[in-house]
Amino acid sequence: MARPNPDLIDAMRRTARKLQEGAPYQWGHMGGCNCGNLAQELTKLTKDQIHAYAMQRYGDWNEQVADYCPTSFMPIDLVISEMVQAGLSLEDLKNLEKLSDRRVLARFPLEKRFLRHNQRDDVVAYLTEWAALLEEELLAQIKLPELETEAVL
């Protein structure tokens, strides 16, 4: 699971808000899909730049992530590296593209857990819930040291 931090949480929320407000979304476009939209927020690249970088190698986000090499200097690997530095894991990227992280999905009511990976509204819901989960984890990390300090006193 992603490393909770305010910048990542904010990027997820901005991505969800932009998608909800009608930002370009196309699941088959490497810069305009689930990962592509979050990559735009984290890297400040355009959807077309991300797509062009990805097209220098074969495959969708899952294949790009599977072939990721942090020292390759392939443009898409540099994009993925920025996303990892922002706090995401490679598994997070795979899960985002398919909306499949079990911890995120478990937060939805049972009847709403079957998200469609290529539907804008489902991507918005997933990113919103994932950001909330990470925020809760971040707050728990902040409170834990406070509790330990109080226990010592």
Is residue 109's pLDDT more than 90?
yes
Determine the Cα–Cα distance for residues 135 and 64; give it in Å rounded to an integer.
28
Q: What is the Cα–Cα distance from 16 to 54, expressed in whole angstroms?
A: 22
Query: What is the mean predicted confidence (pLDDT) over 42-67?
Result: 95
In the predicted model, what is the mean pLDDT of residues 79-85? 97
This prediction has a pTM of: 0.90
Tell me the pLDDT tens digit for each residue of 2-14.
Answer: 899 999 999 999 9
Phi, psi of 107 (to 5 degrees): -80, -15
DSSP 57: S
Residue 90 to residue 110: CA distance in whole angstroms: 27
Question: What count of other Cβ atoms lies within 10 Å of the Cβ of residue 67?
Answer: 15
**What does the DSSP 8-state code read for residue 9?**
H
- Joined together, the tokens standing for residue 28 give 């088959």
Instruction: Report percent pLDDT > 70 for the chain.
Output: 93
- Cβ–Cβ < 8 Å for 111, 85: no
CB-count exposure of residue 92 (10 Å: 0-12, 13-18, 19+):
buried
